[in-house]
Amino acid sequence: MLVILILLREKGFNPKISGHPDIDLENNISCTTGSLGHGLPIGVGMALARKFKNQQGRIFVLMGDGECEEGTTWESLLIASHHKLDNLIIIIDYNKLQALQKIQEVSSLDNLKIKFESFGCYVTEVEGHDISNIINALEKQNIENQTLDKPYVILAHTIKGKGISFMENDPKWHGRRPILERVKSAYGELE
């Protein structure tokens, strides 16, 4: 969530940096999604509207793996595959953690690829830390998905806190604020 706010700032917008993006049309945030499970249904509605209006363009939804536990995910996918929304791209941050716990300990998602496929999606898996992997997967969708008539899911395998040794894969950093010393060492590691 925070990453999206920071990227918007890089693009010249000035969203309020808080825990979650709140609706703020001036700064290009058209919906509030801090409550998990809302982004995909909204994205499905946008993609469907484009189909109805014969509009070009794709809708991108970035979700957490823990977020997939929300029932709205699977309700939305029923609609998305029924309407053959091949203009919908869903990128899953597949870090196997949800806030302060391991997903496996809370409510196992088992094989997420098979789950998405069984809900009528085309699924590809990538290592999610190299942006070129995501770009390749998106280009592949452009070329190969034309005839699939399905939503396209990119399962991006990631490590939470990647690149900062004391944070990597440690769920306690989900919402904890590091002291200044640690911020400095994190900047050092990220160069």
Q: Which residues bind ligand TPP (CB under 6 A)?
A: 34-37, 64-67, 95, 97-99, 160, 174
Binding residues for Mg ion, how many (CB under 5 A)? Answer: 5
Q: Which residues lie below 8 Å from residue 59, measured CB to CB, with a gap of 6+?
A: 43, 46, 47, 50, 87, 88, 89
Nearest residue (CB) to ligand TPP, 107 versus 118: 107
With CB cut-offs between 5 and 8 Å by kind, which of ligand TPP, Mg ion, none does residue 99 bind? Answer: ligand TPP
With CB cut-offs between 5 and 8 Å by kind, which of Mg ion, ligand TPP, none does residue 34 bind? Answer: ligand TPP
Cα 97–Cα 101–Cα 107 angle in degrees, nearest 5: 80
With CB cut-offs between 5 and 8 Å by kind, which of Mg ion, ligand TPP, none does residue 128 bind? Answer: none
Q: How far is the CB of 68 from ligand TPP (least distance, A)?
A: 7
Q: What helix, strand, coil percent values describe the chain, rounded to 5?
A: 45, 15, 40
Nearest residue (CB) to Mg ion, 11 versus 172: 172
Q: Where are the alpha helices (DSSP H) in the chain?
A: 2-10, 39-52, 71-82, 103-106, 112-118, 131-144, 180-190
Report the residue number whose CB is nearest to ligand TPP.
Answer: 64
CB 189 within 8 A of CB 168: no
Partners of residue 126 on adjacent β-strands: 156
Nearest residue (CB) to Mg ion, 73 versus 95: 95
Q: How far is the CB of 55 from ligand TPP (least distance, A)?
A: 29
Q: How far is the CB of 93 from ligand TPP (least distance, A)?
A: 6
CB 165 within 8 A of CB 182: no
What is the pattern of x (binds Mg ion, CB under 5 A) and - over residues 56-95? --------xxx----------------------------x
Rounded Cα gap, residues 102 and 79, in angstroms: 29
Rounded Cα gap, residues 160 and 152, in angstroms: 23
Q: Which of residues 4-63 bind Mg ion (CB under 5 A)?
A: none
Nearest residue (CB) to Mg ion, 66 versus 161: 66
Interaction site with Mg ion (CB under 5 A):
64-66, 95, 97
